[in-house]
Amino acid sequence: MRLAADGEVVATNRAARSLIGEYDAGTVMSDIVEGLGRPVNDWLRDALAGRAERKPEVLRVKRGEHEVFLQVTLSRVIEDGRAGLVAVLSDATQLKTLEAQFVQSQKMQAIGQLAGGVAHDFNNLLTAISGHCDLLMLRHDKGDPDYSDLDQISQNANRAASLVGQLLAFSRKQTLKPKVIDLRDTLADLTHLLNRLVGEKVHLSLHHDPDLRLLRADKRQLEQVIMNLVVNARDAMPGGGEIRIETENVSLSTPMKRDRVELSMGEYVVVRVIDEGVGIPADKIGKIFEPFYTTKRTGEGTGLGLSTAYGIVKQTGGYIFCDSVQGSGTSFTLFFPAHDMVQEVEAAPPPAPVQIEVVGNETATVLLVEDEAPVRAFASRALKLRGYTVYEAESAEEALEILEDETLSVDIFVTDVIMPGMDGPTWVREALKLRPHTKVIFMSGYAEDVFQDGRPPLTHSIFLPKPFSLTDLTTTVQNQLEREIGAGERMQDA
């Protein structure tokens, strides 16, 4: 491209016109490209003066329906005694797209780390708030005027814990409890709740593959994904319509490339949630899984629903894709690896927590290790109310010092996972070398890397996620103490 000193386009070859499109006589460079962060004419003047010559810049073409980026290099020329410029254009669209994807990946990773860290700290705070609230409620009857206020505190702490759980889901640091499940049974159990969510104007229909295979996932979290997708589908159809949930078996004989991922060969269980709503604009589909991004009006959504679903699906080992046509509807497709072990199916729900009775009939000794003082204070009081003897330590090092007293008998370790200095699993393994019969409970605000596939680092230990209530803590300790674990098994773990 040849340019006059004032930036007017004098001549272009065919290759340049294929990149910038046709232009009218008198068109200047600043009408064609943008994106320097300063006026294009200033850049041209610097090149004429020799200050920006042969220094390539990546610019965006203003024209056309599709986004095009150019790498432009300017060279100063003298023609008929007048200075001008020759611009060499290279198509940098693919490079810029890859760069944008990389930046987006870095941004999402940073947000995920931030969300995980914030959630971890909030779970400690919520454990202390809800725990001390439980302690107060033990001292008030239901007829007491203060009881309803305490109940409100407890309920709102639980709501806050649910929101924190969404942050953990996005950052993929939540504690999953995967089981082999039949998705048809899961959706059947969920249908009543889903029908209440969609309301009377929306019809919900389910279509299952009669030979649907099993999958391994956290049932509760999978239900959360389906509910989030159904609620979004409902909101996309303010005038009503139909939401279809379809399941089928898919066998990939070759790897399948979709968006920026590649699905390996193998057997998959596929779930589709399809609506007849307003659809999603093409330029927004790439952003829908970002946290806090929403197309809804202020106050109508948090922007966490799809990012939560994305985090749960990815942590489960699956994939989620979106297809949408504006004005026609949207389809979300979920791929989960199929599972073959029929004998692992567990349909029975976990038993409800037992309501504790504060009596002093327990004789067990607990070593409680927690670096957060408010959490440690609540947990210690709760266990002492149950009748346990409690020794407290604010670090792993202090816990090992307490255990140096060989006359001290400890029945169970209740320890935080991540602490300054030595972490929970490390000190427990050390302690079990000399006390192999001791039971173990790990507690944490989220599942750190020491947990593999949602399982605690020792086979016979139990994981108690924060925030937990007074009942959760005491029931978990009681259940773990009642389990029979052989010394040989424990030593093998250690």
Question: Residue 360 — very low, low, confident or very high, per pLDDT cuts 50/70/90?
Answer: very low
User: 108 and 155 share a domain?
Assistant: yes
Looking at residue 416, which CATH number applies to its domain?
A: 3.40.50.2300
| Model confidence at 212: pLDDT above 80 | yes
User: 281 and 314 share a domain?
Assistant: yes
User: 211 and 330 share a domain?
Assistant: yes
**C-alpha pair distances (Å), 330 with each of 114, 196, 235, 242, 274:** 31, 21, 12, 12, 6
Hey, CA dihedral for 15, 18, 21, 22, is it positive or negative?
Answer: positive
User: 270 and 188 share a domain?
Assistant: yes
Distance CA 98, CA 153 (A): 48
Highest mean pLDDT among 34-48, 87-101, 194-208, 301-315: 194-208
Question: Residue 164 — very low, low, confident or very high, per pLDDT cuts 50/70/90?
Answer: low
Name the token pair of 354. 């037992």
| Model confidence at 160: pLDDT above 80 | no
Of the candidates 40, 62, 91, which is a domain's last residue? Answer: 91
User: 190 and 336 share a domain?
Assistant: yes
Judge whether 293 lies within some domain: no
Report pLDDT digits (tens) over 401-430: 999 988 899 999 999 888 888 888 889 999
Looking at residue 53, which CATH number applies to its domain?
A: 3.30.450.20
As a whole number, mean pLDDT of residues 450-477 equals: 76
Enter the DSSP assignment of 345: B
As a whole number, mean pLDDT of residues 432-454 equals: 74
Judge whether 358 lies within some domain: no
Judge whether 177 lies within some domain: no
> Model pTM greater than 0.85?
no
As a whole number, mean pLDDT of residues 144-163 equals: 79
Report pLDDT digits (tens) over 44-101: 888 888 777 678 888 888 876 677 889 899 988 888 778 889 999 999 888 877 776 6
Residue 247: per-residue pLDDT? 94
Distance CA 368, CA 380 (A): 7
Residue 492: per-residue pLDDT? 43
Judge whether 294 lies within some domain: no
Question: Residue 296 — very low, low, confident or very high, per pLDDT cuts 50/70/90?
Answer: low
Asked whether the beta carbons of 321 and 333 are under 8 A apart, the reply is yes
Question: Residue 389 — very low, low, confident or very high, per pLDDT cuts 50/70/90?
Answer: very high
Radius of gyration of the chain (CA): 30
| Model confidence at 137: pLDDT above 50 | yes
Asked whether the beta carbons of 454 and 179 are under 8 A apart, the reply is no
User: 62 and 134 share a domain?
Assistant: no
Asked whether the beta carbons of 273 and 332 are under 8 A apart, the reply is yes
Report pLDDT digits (tens) over 251-270: 998 988 887 788 888 999 99
Number of domains, the chain? 4
| Model confidence at 342: pLDDT above 60 | no
Judge whether 190 lies within some domain: yes
Judge whether 390 lies within some domain: yes
Judge whether 454 lies within some domain: yes
User: 202 and 339 share a domain?
Assistant: yes
User: 262 and 372 share a domain?
Assistant: no
Judge whether 350 lies within some domain: no
User: 160 and 41 share a domain?
Assistant: no
Asked whether the beta carbons of 421 and 394 are under 8 A apart, the reply is no
| Model confidence at 202: pLDDT above 80 | yes
Question: In terms of residue numbers, what domain contains 327?
Answer: 183-286+300-344
